[in-house]
Structure 1
Amino acid sequence: MCLAWGLTFLPVKIAVVHVPPIFLAAARFSLAGLLLLAWAGRDAFKVPAQAWLRLAGTALLVNSCNYALLFWGMAHAPSGLAAIINMATIPIYTVLASRVIEGQPISGRRIAAVALGAIGLGFLFATRTLGGLSAAKGDGLEFWGLAAIALGTFCHCVGAVLSRKIAGTMPTLTLAGWQTAIGALGLILLSLALEPVSGTHLRALVEWPTAPALAFVVIAGSLIGFTIFLRLLRDWGAFYAGLFAFVSPVIAVGAGVVALGEPFGWPEAIGALLMFGAAAIALRK
């Protein structure tokens, strides 16, 4: 699971060079949604009538808002840093969302996690803000790309917390399938509204190198990785299943440095270590 999710950032980074980023996300989740619902089989129809409104709202947060911002951000930021910000902040944002939405108390340990995570993000943004090494080698919108990824991850966590109320009312695969499919519809509408999609982009989806990149993120990221995660969540619980936040970003950083020559200096290294430390504190039993 960690290998699949860690490597998905690389093909996305490659594919967004050839097609608009939100359009790519819409294609990914359209395919994944259909496959997940087909995989659910008869269970796909086991959605209580009163759950549809919350299901649609959480789908727009977890998939539409999150991945529109994530894929746009990855078009302008290094894939390794995108993975760190995306995955290492999930435990921290979930703590905050749980407090605001569900009223769960935040212990001193979790306050420390939030503070440490904020410092870590500061290091990750430092060279972009100050115009250092990474900013000089990167995109002019790199800072805003990383900010978009952070905002998208927060949308994901809010949607995930809101999903808890309906998670027990239907099979897990049914929830995942409909959230993915409805999220895909939201991404399609966003792409049509914000991006200049043309026939050339449609053809690019079935051509090299976009086609294999899209196939990898659908099969490895959405189907294999997510299915393993659900199994681990069932058998191990949220704590152990959440440990991917430490492994997958390391894989993503290594793949970005080796395959794409992405910069990764000491501010990024310090920021990553602080983010991992914050995630460890937030996840700790």
Structure 2
Amino acid sequence: MNTKKHISTLLDTALTAVTPVIWGTTYLVTTEWLPPGRPFTAALIRTLPAGLLLVAWTRHAIPRSHWLRIGVLSLLNIGFFQALLFIAAYRLPGGVAAVVGALSPLLVMLMAWCVDSDRPGIAAAGVAGLAVSGMALLFVSPGDRWDPLGLTAAVAGTVCIASGTFLSRRWRNRMPILAFTGWQLTLGGLALIPFAILLDPPLPALEMRHFAGYLYLALFGALLAYVLWFRGISRLSPVAVSSLGLLSPLTAIVFGWALLGQSLTPLQITAMGLVLGSVLALQWLISVSPGGRQTDEKNNP
């Protein structure tokens, strides 16, 4: 990879990494700024307005032959994933859900191997395994309860986002990124409406902090974050993008420590270093692999 392409890849990686960092602030915003006990309503308000705004801005219709694909991606990346994510969050300790979510890069590697015959390198698979181990050290404690329904939801949600990440690259078909993102947020948000109506209580009278929280989730947590995420998927290896998602729980921990006064043990700090080192190592291994160079050449002519 020449210097210009290397710098371009670094920039694409940095911009894509902004997304999980933003998503890592969701816990703080939800607990401090939103009315409690309405997870699906929060997900709906987060996704649907942002999607409608992007669709109205771009005025780009989905090609008739791609409605089914965009619909599937909308459910995998937005609708099903958001619903399963909140079910898991309510029924499992956050640590267990985070460890299950850390399996996403390994699942993407498996899909690339099975579908594209792109066999993962031993080093990359080993580093991804180290990331899972780091998450386990960081979050899981002996007293954690393993609710069967919550665990099933966490696994299904991880499969959804891994599949959505892998298929988004294959199915975008040169749609503009803003339109591609907007339609997924819109259709995925519409899929969340039944969950919000049937499972969440009605919203109370909203205060200014509630409006601020919902506005932040819609503009930054959905509109900006998903645009950068799908942009990254179009330019980087799906495994590289998926591994960046591990930055989300790390960001949540840092914000909890800095703003909420939560403590960090030496073991947690060590585990955070292991996860962060694994993410950086995966980015480097993918960038120097033949497949990584082919990806750059394909997407940055």
> Relative contact order, CA 8 A, sep 6+: which one is greater?
1
Deviation by residue 1:99-149 (Cα, 9 ceiling, x = unmatched): 34433211111221232123223213431xx12xxx6xxxx7899879855
5 Å matches for 1:48-59?
48-59=63-74
Alignment pair present for 1:124 and 2:128? no
Is 1:221 the counterpart of 2:239 in the alignment? no
CA contact (8 A) 1:66 1:152 kept: yes
Equivalent residue of 1:209, what SS? helix
Q: Match of 1:198?
A: 201
Q: Is the alpha carbon distance of 1:141 and 1:107 closer, same or farther for their aligned partners in structure 2, counting shifts above 3 Å?
A: closer
Shift of 1:172: 1.6
Query: Which is worse superposed, 21-30 or 275-284?
Result: 275-284
Report the aligned-residue RMSD: 3.7
Q: Are the equivalent residues in 2 in contact too, given 1:12–1:71 (CA < 8 A)?
A: no
Which residue does the alignment assign to 2:119? 105
| Counterpart amino acid of residue 252 in structure 1 | A
What's the CA shift string for 1:13-64, capped at 9, x where partnerless? 3356524112210121111111121222x22x1x222211111111111111
Partner of residue 185, structure 2: 180
Q: 35, 38, 42: which is aligned to 2:53?
A: 35
- Say which SS state the counterpart of residue 181 (structure 2) adopts: helix
- 8 A Cα contact 1:83 1:252, kept in partner: no
1:272 partner amino acid: M
- Which sections of structure 1, spanning at least 5 residues, go unmatched? none
Q: Normalising to structure 2: TM-score of the pair?
A: 0.71
Residue 10 of structure 2 aligns with which residue?
A: none
CA deviation profile, 1:60-95 (whole Å, cap 9, x unmatched):
11111222233445557888x699769866544432
Q: Deviations over 1:149-185 (max 9, x none)?
A: 5653442121121122221242221111111111112
Alpha-carbon distance in 1 for matches of 2:251, 2:138: 17
Match of 1:13 among 22, 27, 31: 31
- Using the size of structure 1 for normalisation, the TM-score is 0.74
Deviation at 1:8, TM superposition (A): 3.4
Aligned length: 266
Helix, strand or coil at the partner of 1:191:
helix
Query: Counterpart of 2:268?
Result: 268
Moved more, 238-247 or 268-277: 238-247
Match of 1:156 in 2: 161
